[in-house]
Amino acid sequence: MEEGNWILATVIRAVALGTPILWGTLGEITAERSGVINLGVEGMMILGALAAFVVAHLTGQPTAGLVVAAAVGGAAALLHAFISITLRANQYVSGLALTMFGLGLAGLLGRGWEGRPLLDTLPEISALTYAGLGVAVALWVVFYHTRWGIVLRSVGEMPAAADALGVNVALVRYLAVAFGGVMAGAAGAFLSLAYRPAWTEGMTAGMGWIVIAIAIFAAWDPLRAVAGALLFGALFHLSFRLQAWVAPELLKMMPFAFTILALAATAGGRRGLGAPEALGTPYVTGER
């Protein structure tokens, strides 16, 4: 019944749907590596989606939309950074608040933009799509083979020690969280400019939460994030391909069950596969 090379077709779909997930995940991984979990991905993503759509609509330049979306995502992330790093508030609650705030603000500002076709869009599979893979490789190199990576990881693992060595913990965390926002904003732009060029209220439909899950699934490793995003994209697509044979809910459940299995399988043994030691913990200068 199926025509053509369905494996290749599935891979293409996995890449297309995996791209926004990958972008968001790489950003979240970077933030979490610095010790700051940001549950506000959904909020940053939808703000990015709206900003990209509006800018592309007004200027006719989808790339301008992408750039503005990244900036908007970064700005939203700075809010989380200020509250969780400078004010040392609970990161989980701050992230939840950012998700609410972002969804709310995008819903309000996006009124009247629904139902408008976008003439200048980005292609779904293009150099931009593969840029995500490039960013993943670059991050992997930075994380594990550069001084910056050591600094970033030490801030996430042992902020007191990093501080003692003269690292500005707050600055590193600010930069990492802002990068996370930039990537989430860009992911939102991909949704509203390329994946499905249109603006609709609530159009991220939970993808921000998937991103947080994939970041965990990937064990904070940028290359594993590629695998996680592709696996999720493939399973999501296959849940429709295989609908006649497998309940779609059970297929969609898979990545989350896999994550628990992966966490259990890799736990206890080698160091570095688990979460950054200081994840979720505010750092206070001078406290050891």
Partner 1 sequence: MRRIYLVLALVLVAGLAAPGAAQQKLKAGFIYVGPIGDYGWTHAHDEGRRLAQQRLPWLETIYVESVPEGQVEPFIERMIQQGARVVFTTSFGFMDGTLAAARRYPNHIFAHASGFKRNRNMATYMADFYQVYYLNGLMAGALTKTGRTAYVGAFPIPEVKRHLNAFALGVRAVNPQATVHVRWIFEWFNPAAAKEATEALIAAGADVFAFTEDSPTVVQVAARRNLPSFGHYSPMQKFAPRHVVSGQLVHWDRIYIDFLSKVYAGRYTADNLADVDYWWLLAEKAVELGGEPGVPVNPVFRTALQAARVNTPDLGRISVYDLVMRRLAQMATPQMTFDPFTGPIRDRKGTLRAPAGKRLTVAELTSMEWAAPGVVGPWPKEP
Partner 2 sequence: MRRLGPLVLEPDPVPPPARVLGVSLFAIAGALLVAGGVFAAYGADPLVAYGVIVRGTFAGLREASEVVRRTIPLLLCGVGLALAFRAQFWNIGAEGQLLAGAVGATAVALFVPIPGPWVLVAMFAAGFAAGALWGLLPALLRLRLSVNEVLTTLMMNYIALYGVAWLIHGPWKGATQFGFAYTDAFPEAARLPLLAGTRVHWPTLAVGLVLAAALAFLLARTRLGFEVRVLGQNPTAGRYAGIDPARTLLAVVLLSAGAAGLAGVGEVAGVHHKLLDPGQVSLGYGYAAIVVAWLARGSPLAAVLTATLLGAIFTSGDVLKVALQMPFRVTDVFNGLILFFLIGSERLLAVRIRWAPAATAAVPAEPGVPGTPETGGGS
Q: Which residues inside 9-68 make contact with partner 2, applying CB under 8 A?
A: none
User: The tokens of 8 are what?
Assistant: 């290749």
Q: Which is nearer to partner 1, 127 or 244 (CB)?
A: 244
Alpha-carbon gap, residue 93 to 91, rounded angstroms: 6
Strand intervals (E) in the chain: none
DSSP 198: S
8 Å CB contact between 153 and 143: yes
Residue 130 interacts, among partner 1, partner 2, none and using kind-specific CB cut-offs from 5 to 8 Å, with none
Question: Of residues 6, 60, 92, 243, which one binds partner 2 by CB under 8 A?
Answer: 92
Q: Which is nearer to partner 1, 120 or 280 (CB)?
A: 120
Q: Which is nearer to partner 2, 117 or 166 (CB)?
A: 166
8 Å CB contact between 167 and 155: yes
**To 10 degrees, the CA torsion angle through 281, 284, 286, 288?**
-20
- Report, in Å, the least distance between residue 3 CB and partner 1: 5
Closest alpha carbon to 153 in 287, 44, 41, 274: 274
Helices (H) and strands (E) in the chain, counts: 11, 0
Q: Which residues inside 210-269 make contact with partner 1, applying CB under 8 A?
A: 236-237, 239-241, 243-244, 248-249
- Report, in Å, the least distance between residue 32 CB and partner 2: 11
Q: Which is nearer to partner 1, 107 or 272 (CB)?
A: 107
Alpha-carbon gap, residue 213 to 262, rounded angstroms: 12
Closest alpha carbon to 192 in 95, 104, 106: 106
Question: Of residues 101, 121, 158, 167, which one binds partner 2 by CB under 8 A?
Answer: 101
SS3 73: helix
Q: Which is nearer to partner 1, 4 or 268 (CB)?
A: 4
249: contact with partner 2 by CB under 8 A: yes
8 Å CB contact between 29 and 42: no
Alpha-carbon gap, residue 171 to 288, rounded angstroms: 19
**Interface map 254-283 toward partner 2 (x if CB under 8 A):** --xx-xx--xx--xx-----xx--x-xxx-
1: contact with partner 1 by CB under 8 A: yes
Where along the sequence are the contacts to partner 2 (CB under 8 A)?
Answer: 79, 83, 87-94, 96-108, 111, 201, 212-213, 216, 247, 249-250, 252-253, 256-257, 259-260, 263-264, 267-268, 274-275, 278, 280-282, 284-287
Where along the sequence are the contacts to partner 1 (CB under 8 A)?
Answer: 1-4, 6, 9, 13, 17, 107, 110-111, 114-115, 117, 124, 191, 195-198, 200-203, 205, 207, 236-237, 239-241, 243-244, 248-249
